[in-house]
Structure 1
Amino acid sequence: MKKLFIALVCVCLTSCGSNTSIVSSWRDPNATLATENFKKVLVVALVKDESTRRSTENRIASINPAILNASYNYLNQQNLDLTQEQKLSILQTEGFDGVITMRFIRADTQTQYVPGTAGYYGGMGYPGMGYGYAGGYGMGYGAGFGGWYGAYAPAYYSPGYYQENTYYYVETNIFDLKNNKLVWSATTKSLDVSDTDTTVDEIMQACVNEMRKDGYMAPKSK
């Protein structure tokens, strides 16, 4: 039901900016969130580091604990050697009817040119007039050009430069366990993943926006 993501939407849309964007998405044309009846959903984060897995799953599950559940409580080292059919049977026995998965795909490093800035003086005015008058910045009318230029030119112009940015690609899927099929999928890319909680929030926000855009999720009510 739509209530699966109501709390998630409220949390995500409070963020003004984001370092995460959608690269691609897909949906089952015959499925929408409004018609799928997800009452108990498993959250699976496929990452190599166990602590990151747990923190990611807990972050998502905490949004709506009545519906969302971290997978490490059900799929862990104790049943690692079970077949896919046996694992699916465990989830169905536990009453799960949906799964949200997150999987790290790759990291790409890109070199980008950042243009310089010119003609900006921060609104301080011309030295010697207003703020600069009578040495307001330590420079009076009697100061030589060399001192004047050395003091103010750096703030007036900064050259362009090259920087390396690393983008992290993550795949997010929604599965319908009742019919054992994928119903929605998206790939996102994030520029900064130093804060796991923030990155997870941004991925969820991007996914919610995309689900609305492609019709899998009902538009936001006005």
Structure 2
Amino acid sequence: MEQANKPKSNPMKTNVHFLPFLILGISLLFSSCSSSTKILGSWKSPDSPPSGYSNIFIAALSDNVLARKTIEDNLQNLLNQKGVASVTSFNIIKPEFRAMETKKEEILTAIKDRENDAILTIAVIDQTNETRYVPGDIMYNPMGFAFYRGFWRYYSFYYPMIYSPGYYTQEKNYFLEINLYDAKSEDLVWSAQSQTTNPYDLEGSSEEFAKVVVGRLVKEGLIARQR
């Protein structure tokens, strides 16, 4: 098992208890510019099944209906390509749903009735805006001796070329927590934190995020590969 750097928040919880939080999360991430997504760190339970999971319930925790549906659909598509069955929460939990303890058994029963053996949740846990200065470039390319004899000849040729001014750039960073729970025991079996920088559009950024997450699940042996 690969042991990566610890995620920014502590994932070491033993029970799912995520249902009261189904409306939190991804409202701004995939709607904001070149984007990049990477996994910052992950944790894997020693009790995770060696054969991995083959039927996953996907729940993006967001009150942004479009973002929720898009990220769930992209994760489902990639899991299906790997031969892993999956269902999205959007098909079960309606946008107007508000998580309450009284609804817990109803939702868990719906998940288990579909024979899901794992639950994958995604939630935004932090957002930062950073201003970064990119320094300019200085060019030096000496000419022949004769070129240096006259000041103006030298100055007028080099001045427009010698310096490319610096500039400021804005970077938006979104930090997401991705948790995988065992559907039967509701125990946390895997947790990771990802960082997405400058998401450019909903569909493109969501596809990239899904590739990174599913790729990591495969790498860590958490989903059953296609036979």
Offset, 1:92 = 0.9
Query: 1:68 maps to what in 2?
Result: 86
Partners of 1:72 and 1:217 lie apart in 2 by 23
- The answer to whether the 8 Å contact 1:108/1:166 transfers is yes
Structure 1: where are the runs of 5+ without partners?
A: 1-16, 128-142
Partners of 2:114 and 2:218 lie apart in 1 by 30
Cα deviation, 1:185-206, whole Å, max 9, x if unaligned, reads 1111111212223323333444
Cα deviation, 1:97-123, whole Å, max 9, x if unaligned, reads 2222111112112233323322378xx
Residue identity matched to 2:158: Y
Q: Percent identity?
A: 25
TM-score, normalized by length of structure 2? 0.65
Larger mean CA deviation between 71-80 and 181-190 belongs to 71-80
Q: In angstroms, what is the RMSD of aligned CA positions?
A: 3.3
- The answer to whether the 8 Å contact 1:106/1:169 transfers is yes
The count of corresponding residues between Structure 1 and Structure 2 is 179
Higher relative contact order (CA 8 A, sep 6+): 2
Are positions 1:27 and 2:44 aligned together?
A: yes
- The answer to whether the 8 Å contact 1:107/1:166 transfers is yes
Structure number with bigger Rg: 1
Query: 1:175 maps to what in 2?
Result: 181
Are positions 1:114 and 2:134 aligned together?
A: yes
Map residues 65-104 of structure 1 onto 2, 5 A cutoff.
67-77=85-95, 80=98, 83-104=103-124
Structure 2: where are the runs of 5+ without partners?
A: 1-33, 145-151
Residue identity matched to 1:93: D
- Relative to structure 1, the CA distance from residue 120 to residue 55 in structure 2 (aligned partners, 3 Å threshold; closer, same or farther) is farther
Map residues 1-222 of structure 1 onto 2, 5 A cutoff.
19-32=36-49, 34-38=50-54, 40-63=55-78, 64=80, 67-77=85-95, 80=98, 83-119=103-139, 144-153=153-162, 157-208=163-214, 210-211=216-217, 215-216=220-221
- The answer to whether the 8 Å contact 1:192/1:199 transfers is no
TM-score, normalized by length of structure 1? 0.66
Partners of 2:192 and 2:77 lie apart in 1 by 22
Residue identity matched to 1:25: S
Aligned partner of residue 149 in structure 1, secondary structure: helix
Aligned partner of residue 200 in structure 2, secondary structure: coil
Residue identity matched to 2:62: V
